[in-house]
Amino acid sequence: MDNGKSCAILIPAYEPDEKLLILLENLTAAGYTRIFVVDDGSGSSFAPIFEKVSGCPQVVLLHHVANRGKGAALKTAFSHIYRKYPDIKVVITADSDGQHRVEDIAKVQETAAADPGKLWLGVRQFDGKVPLRSKIGNRLTAFLMRIFLGMDIADTQTGLRAIPREFIPPLMQISYDRYEFELEMLLCARRYGFVIGAVPIKTLYIDNNASSHFHPLRDSFKIYIVLFRYILVSLLTALVDYLVYVPVLWIALRYLAVPAATAAAVASGRIAGAAVQYSLVRKVVFHSDSPMYKTLPQYLLLVTLSGLASYLVLHSIESGANWNFYIAKPAAELLIYLANFLIQKEFIFKRREDRQ
């Protein structure tokens, strides 16, 4: 097994215990000579642990003054490796809590060495004794990604990954700094055309995963915001649209005929919603790098056409089904939602790399 200079092991660590030292000892014994550990603001209480870490000649120790999150720790090390070690071609990330065996790290490393262009995941089988929160959380995320994004990944939250050097610059652009960074990494790989491969590894939880700093409610919520951000942005846009539509319609019906009042209300709501949605969709959802002078006219054209479609559908529902004006509005928008998403994703906010 070649554990030479072309491969690095990266371990983010926050308030670690002796298991980190055991892992480093085992990695060194296995022949790994380039190991990077990031102290993510663990504090003075954990200084003795990191003093022992820094005493290992194979280890480069990086520090955060305060806790910034797992994603930030990974990006700190990625930046350091990319700038100072041009001969490192693959970075293997592993957790500091002893849940990744050296045998599995080696398995992922050897797979990446044979096919270095992919993002390789060490995929746990979730057999044996697995904490319920880990099993349910991972399976739910995998299911939702398969249904909504078409990505079939069995273990979305694994910390054991082999990352090719050329994938590091895109990862540095990710704005998330905590556990949601790892899910965003998967979405980023798809955006930039990196194939995601799976390497089966052993599922290992020590003391029912008691040493994990993952907060089930808070961190899961952040992860799902990443996964469903288009839906969340769309809901916010729809809320703004509807809150403008209702009072405008109520006022307009006092002075205008029904078709004219409906058209005025739809247009007002659409303009207000578009003002909110454009910047959020462009940067937060699709991470588009296309210039505004190209995307804004296309987006405004889409808003105009979808507003016209909304009016026609809304008017048809009102007159044909005899629905209440205020109920017909969300019903019409649901029919247009999917078409808007596909047009924005595939044509307006498509990345330059995707076009090429």
What is the H or E stretch that residue 160 is in?
none
Return d(Cα 287, Cα 221) in angstroms, integer.
Answer: 21
Return d(Cα 69, Cα 85) in angstroms, integer.
Answer: 24
Return d(Cα 217, Cα 230) in angstroms, integer.
Answer: 21
What integer pLDDT is reported at residue 6 of this predicted model? 87
Q: How many CA atoms lie within 13 A of 33 on its CB side?
A: 8
pLDDT tens for the chain, 356 residues long, are 456 578 999 999 999 999 999 999 999 999 999 999 999 999 999 999 999 999 999 999 999 999 999 999 999 999 999 999 999 999 999 999 888 899 999 999 999 999 988 999 998 875 555 555 555 666 776 677 676 666 778 788 888 999 999 999 999 998 888 878 888 898 889 888 899 999 998 876 555 444 454 554 554 555 566 566 666 777 788 888 889 989 999 999 999 988 888 889 888 988 888 888 777 776 655 555 667 777 778 878 877 887 777 777 766 765 655 556 666 666 666 667 666 666 765 666 665 444 34
> What secondary structure letter does DSSP report for 132?
H
User: Whole-prediction pTM value?
Assistant: 0.65
Return d(Cα 71, Cα 161) in angstroms, integer.
Answer: 13
What integer pLDDT is reported at residue 160 of this predicted model? 94
β-strands 119-124, 59-64: how paired?
unpaired
Return d(Cα 309, Cα 313) in angstroms, integer.
Answer: 6
Return d(Cα 155, Cα 182) in angstroms, integer.
Answer: 11
Three-class DSSP category at 262: helix
Return d(Cα 150, Cα 227) in angstroms, integer.
Answer: 12
Angle at which helix 180-191 crosses helix 132-149, to 10 degrees, equals 30
Residue 158 contacts residue 123 (beta carbons within 8 Å): yes
What integer pLDDT is reported at residue 195 of this predicted model? 93
- Helix and strand tally (H, E) in the chain? 13, 7
What integer pLDDT is reported at residue 328 of this predicted model? 66
Dihedral sign computed on CA atoms, order 207, 212, 217, 221: negative
129: left (phi over 0), alpha (psi -120 to 50) or beta: beta
Alpha-carbon distance values, 255 to 103, 263, 270, 314, 320 (Å): 76, 13, 21, 20, 24
Return d(Cα 295, Cα 275) in angstroms, integer.
Answer: 14
Residue 227 contacts residue 144 (beta carbons within 8 Å): yes
Three-class DSSP category at 82: helix
Return d(Cα 245, Cα 332) in angstroms, integer.
Answer: 13
What integer pLDDT is reported at residue 164 of this predicted model? 96
Residue 242 tokens read as 């509807």
Structural domains of the chain, ranges and CATH numbers in brackets: 7-224 (3.90.550.10), 229-355 (no CATH)
What is the H or E stretch that residue 303 is in?
helix 292-320
Residue 34 tokens read as 């380039």
β-strands 196-201, 119-124: how paired?
parallel
